[in-house]
Amino acid sequence: MSDTDQSIRRYTSGNLRERLYAALRSAGKEPEVLLPGDLGDADQFHSGGANATAEVARAAGIGLGTRVLDVGAGIGGPARRFAQLGAVVTGVDVTEEFVLLARELNAACSMAGSITMLLAPAQATNLPAGSFDAATMLHVGMNLENKPAVFAEVHRLLRPGGVFVIYDLMGTNALDYPMPWADAASASYVEPAEAYHRHLRVAGFTPGTDEDRTAAVLASMPGPGKGPATPLGAPILLGTDPVDRLGNVAAAMKSGAVAPRILVSVRSGT
């Protein structure tokens, strides 16, 4: 089974829309008419939530008129944050349930004109070369076996000097499963930061800053004495068994087995 098929199987639930809309209504929100902030962290499916998304946007220099490619865009949370900054965003994802829901949420947030969601694999988007000023990838690499192919496609799609910001969990794949992104090591492709740097150089990027955000992420995670998780929390995308998955990833970060890192690189060449 390919990594694409594994991702589709892992993330497709068939009832995400119903569960998310029920959570919104229980929070007093109308799913058909929303502000991006109404979704809480439910659409920020990565460690650190909205704060991490803001750091990625800052690192990528996203602002008014920036043409942004979001790789593995999920249900569009980061894309909507980028659009709030004035960016024009194209998100690609292989999970149809995510893409369809993202389109609905973009429309509900009056952002359909600023965001395009495509159902496509990141290594073969069929988008025009040099179409983007910046590209982002948030907690996707753990599901990508062939990172070099994806990075080569991102290189093709960025203009010369364009910025590629990756925010992934990096380290060892020898972890206690299940994890948020995989049920077992056979469907997980965690790699150390050094491997990312190597793949980026081969694809034609010049790696730049490399920031370990473990401390900030652990400080933001709920724990004993911090109160119950809200209905609009990131676990809504994890299905019916979020507790063990989140506990395992927190333990892995605390032990140093994995670290949430932001890597910034620049597209070389002409």
Domain boundaries, the chain: 3-267
Q: What is the pLDDT of residue 230?
A: 64
Q: What is the pLDDT of residue 240?
A: 66
Cis peptide bond upstream of 31, omega within 30: no
Environment class of 230 (CB within 10 Å of its CB; exposed 0-12, middle 13-18, buried 19+):
middle
Please state, in angstroms and rounded to a whole number, the distance separating the CA atoms of residues 270 and 245: 43
Which runs of E-coded beta strand occur in 88-219?
88-93, 115-119, 132-138, 158-171, 205-212
Q: What is the pLDDT of residue 198?
A: 97
CA atoms within 13 A on the CB side of 80: 28
Q: What is the pLDDT of residue 234?
A: 64
Q: How far is CA 4 from CA 139, 186, 211, in A?
A: 15, 13, 28
pLDDT 10s per residue in the chain (270 long)?
Answer: 787 888 888 888 899 999 999 999 999 999 999 998 899 888 888 999 999 999 999 999 999 999 999 999 999 999 999 999 999 999 999 999 999 999 999 999 999 999 999 999 999 999 999 999 999 999 999 999 999 999 999 999 999 999 999 999 999 999 999 999 999 999 999 999 999 999 999 999 999 999 999 999 999 886 644 444 566 776 777 766 788 898 999 999 999 999 999 999 999 877
Q: What residue type is 192 in one-letter code?
A: P
Angle at 12 between CA 11 and CA 15, to 5 degrees: 120
Residue 209: partners with Cβ closer than 8 Å, 6 or more residues away: 59, 262, 263, 264
Architecture of domain 3-267: 3-Layer(aba) Sandwich (3.40)
> Residue 59 has which token pair?
């690192």
